[in-house]
Structure 1
């Protein structure tokens, strides 16, 4: 009987240690590291069955499959994320991050530094809301984006619509549009 109890205790201890829940801060760190390293399988372990991204006035709800499409879109721009600070506030994590990528570089705002609020459901990320941007020149951003859109409409109409196409093909067209535009500058 003692041996059975000891064996069960050791097995329980081993399995208990292997299934340790991540803290909210660790979950946020895992999320951005997975984005940074291109590891969607790891990313899936820390997001809820549904996740909502809220950049500004836009609300973008995803399930895991549609989030994978967004992930593919983002990956085309060779993103690099760095967490500068995290703070737990109630049941959320407030994080200040930087995002470097080719799209931000084209729009003359690289790195993009922002504060986000990350919310959780059952220990997994269910919502990321952008709260504040730091040192972003929105006039330059808008001017570069609008110039690109107008130039593409006039010179490469087959790529028109790339800016609102959040699919892999849309991102590839966005990247192609930026390269064509820069070549003519």
Structure 2
């Protein structure tokens, strides 16, 4: 009887350890969720509190607030390609190619960026953009400034789109790009 109990515990613990998802797999699932527009998949692998760092901008999200970011991002029809994953002692480094209509307008399509992912208790807790070596930030900034200036003069109803990270803000951003491109 005692050996049967030990055998059962051993088999149960082996089954549980085989089902444990690795941090590398979490990052793969994260980008797969964005690529397939499946927020439920993303929601299940991020922590209740997620921090993102992009340059000087640090943002803390709840899952609900991150869903707003997810919806904003999806408006631009992004195409995510995970190029590589590397494991460090405390994090996973991901190199990702992202193409979308916004980056195309900003003349930096695709963007290839490196990110550091950190984890706690099997969930993603922090994503930091380390660099985007192929991006020409001067061209990016000029395109944004030209668009914002043109919109202020010609379509003031869309003014503020560039800082509005809501679904409506992203839709206004796309509308501004379309109007700007059609002006000739």
TM over 0.5: yes
- What residue in structure 2 maps to residue 70 of structure 1? 69
- What residue in structure 1 maps to residue 121 of structure 2? 122
- What residue in structure 2 maps to residue 163 of structure 1? 162
Cα deviation digits, residues 24-77 of structure 1 (max 9, x gap): 111101000100100000111110101111111101110000000000000000
Cα deviation digits, residues 81-113 of structure 1 (max 9, x gap): 111111111120011111111100010000000
Report the Cα offset of residue 16 of structure 1: 2.6
Mapping for residues 52-71 of structure 1, pairs under 5 Å: 52-71=51-70
C-alpha distance in 1, partners of 2:8/2:88?
39
Report the Cα offset of residue 5 of structure 1: 5.0
* Distance change >3 Å, CA 115–CA 184, structure 1 → 2: same
- What residue in structure 2 maps to residue 104 of structure 1? 103
Report the Cα offset of residue 152 of structure 1: 0.5
C-alpha distance in 2, partners of 1:15/1:114?
37
Report the Cα offset of residue 121 of structure 1: 1.5
Q: Does 1:40 align with 2:26?
A: no
C-alpha distance in 2, partners of 1:178/1:111?
17
Query: What is the total number of aligned residue pairs between the two structures?
Result: 184
Cα deviation digits, residues 127-183 of structure 1 (max 9, x gap): 110111122111111111000000110011011000001110110110111111011
C-alpha distance in 1, partners of 2:14/2:44?
21
Q: 5+ residue gaps in structure 1?
A: none
Q: Does 1:16 align with 2:19?
A: no
TM-score (ref. length: structure 1) = 0.91
- What residue in structure 2 maps to residue 174 of structure 1? 173
SS of 2:182's equivalent? helix
- What residue in structure 2 maps to residue 131 of structure 1? 130
Report the Cα offset of residue 12 of structure 1: 3.3
CA root-mean-square deviation: 2.1
C-alpha distance in 1, partners of 2:113/2:11?
44
Q: 5+ residue gaps in structure 2?
A: none
C-alpha distance in 2, partners of 1:45/1:163?
29
TM-score (ref. length: structure 2) = 0.92
C-alpha distance in 2, partners of 1:56/1:17?
37
